[in-house]
Amino acid sequence: MKQDQMRNRIALACGMGSKWRTPTRSMSETAAATPKTAPSKRRVFASRLFSTLLLWSLLSVAFLEWQNTWLVIAITGFFGVAGAVEYFRLLRNDPHARSFNALGFVICITYWGVVIWYTTSRHKAPPMEFDLAALTASVHGSFILCYRHQLEGATTLQRIFNTVFGTVYTVIFFGFMVRLMYFHADGKGITDIFLVLFLIMVTKFSDMGAYVFGVLFGKHKMIPHISPAKSWEGFVGAFIGSFGAAAALMYWMPEKLAPLTWMHGMILAPVLCATAVTGDLAESVLKRCVAIKDSGTTLPGIGGILDLTDSLLFTAPVFYFYLSAIAR
């Protein structure tokens, strides 16, 4: 019996989706998220494995085989727009918030359209003014929309906050992925997609390490009132995964990761890991507030785009600012 249970845990300990799972889940989380007929563990594992292999195959082709910057930017833009759609769908239960959600979506589409045009034509990172323009549009637009209805006190303020926060969370944060691609760009087509690869690998191996250790060894819950399934054992696994990914990349391609050195790689591993933890928990807070388990159903066995990119939304700007500091 114990051997069967251990085999089931090992079978589940794969993929890039939900992290840090302990063998059991709280009744509140299960009741809120599980359908009447829950899928079997084997079916969940198969779906998760399929999505994971598909995603890593896509990354391998884009970064290692083709090394195509335009493809990487297009993929980044897709995830950025899809993440924004999922975020604003979380707020769809408020009928008066539809116009605010539409505003946020329009800002996101416009931002990524301009960014893709600018980077592919100029071969440079988009200027910070693009981010400030998106933020300004969300603030101004939100207040203009308030003029259409009677004010509802804190509810109106919440709609404004949701729109502005959504712009920062899904648009500006994810835009740092593109800035990393052109960190050394001088207008002559020089790009840094391997810096983006370093960020993705360290962040997602942190996620996977957390998931594996949480499933196999998770007993001590970390922050149960936010995410009952996350454990301190998973937290340890996250650090192991991030250190392993950073060390492997620094060993195999040190010349492609300038200005990073071994020392910087070993510093970034725990920094990005801790930031990834924060990003993962941040999305858990959002989902808890609207009583859902996953942000969407785009990726079988994983959930939505935000479930996949939640940690990257936080690690991308931190990594960019770290590189900016050491490159001066």
Q: Tell me, letter by letter, the H, E, C secondary structure of the chain.
A: CHHHHHHHHHHHCCCCCCCCCCCCCCHHHHHHHCCCCCCCHHHHHHHHHHHHHHHHHHHHHHHHHCCCHHHHHHHHHHHHHHHHHHHHHCCCCCHHHHHHHHHHHHHHHHHHHHHHHHHHHHCCCCCHHHHHHHHHHHHHHHHHHHCCCCCCCHHHHHHHHHHHHHHHHHHHHHHHHHHHHCCCCCCCCCCCHHHHHHHHHHHHHHHHHHHHHHHHHCCCEEECCCEEEEEHHHHHHHHHHHHHHHHHHHHHCHHHHCCCCHHHHHHHHHHHHHHHHHHHHHHHHHHHHCCCCCCCCCECCCECHHHHHHHHHHHHHHHHHHHHHHCC
Contact, 100 vs 159, CB < 8 A?
yes
pLDDT beyond 70 at 132: yes
Q: Each residue of 271-312: pLDDT tens digit? A: 999 999 999 999 989 988 888 877 766 665 566 788 888 999
**So what's the pLDDT on residue 164?**
96
**So what's the pLDDT on residue 271?**
97
Q: Where are the domains of the chain?
A: 39-326
Return the ∠ at Cα 244 (arms to 12 and 182), rounded to 5°. Answer: 105
Q: How far is CA 209 from the centre of its chain?
A: 16
User: What is the Cβ-side half-sphere exposure of residue 272, based on CA atoms within 13 angstroms?
Assistant: 34
Q: Each residue of 147-160: pLDDT tens digit? A: 988 888 899 999 99
Distance CA 328, CA 323 (A): 9
**Residues above pLDDT 90, as percent of the chain:** 42
Q: What is the pTM of this model?
A: 0.80
**pLDDT band at residue 165 under the 50/70/90 scheme:** very high
Q: Between these two residues, 9 and 70, which has the higher pLDDT value? A: 70
Task: Identify the top-confidence range among 71-75, 160-164, 296-300.
Answer: 160-164
User: Which residues, including other chains, have CB under 8 Å from residue 138's CB and lie 6 or more apart?
Assistant: 103, 104, 107, 163, 164, 166, 167
- Give which of 192, 66, 163, 172 is closest to 111, Cα–Cα: 172
In single-letter form, the type of residue at position 306 comes to: L
pLDDT beyond 70 at 178: yes
CB atoms within 10 A of CB 176: 22
**Residues above pLDDT 70, as percent of the chain:** 75
Distance CA 234, CA 56 (A): 22
Task: Please provide the average confidence, as pLDDT, over all residues in the chain.
Answer: 81
**Mean local confidence (pLDDT), 133-151:** 93
- Give which of 171, 73, 183 is closest to 124, Cα–Cα: 183
In single-letter form, the type of residue at position 287 comes to: K
Angle between helices 232-252 and 262-289 (to 10 degrees): 140
pLDDT beyond 60 at 26: no
* The two structure tokens encoding residue 179: 């800035």
Distance CA 20, CA 235 (A): 7
**Mean local confidence (pLDDT), 215-224:** 88
Q: Which residue has the tokens 């998770």?
A: 218
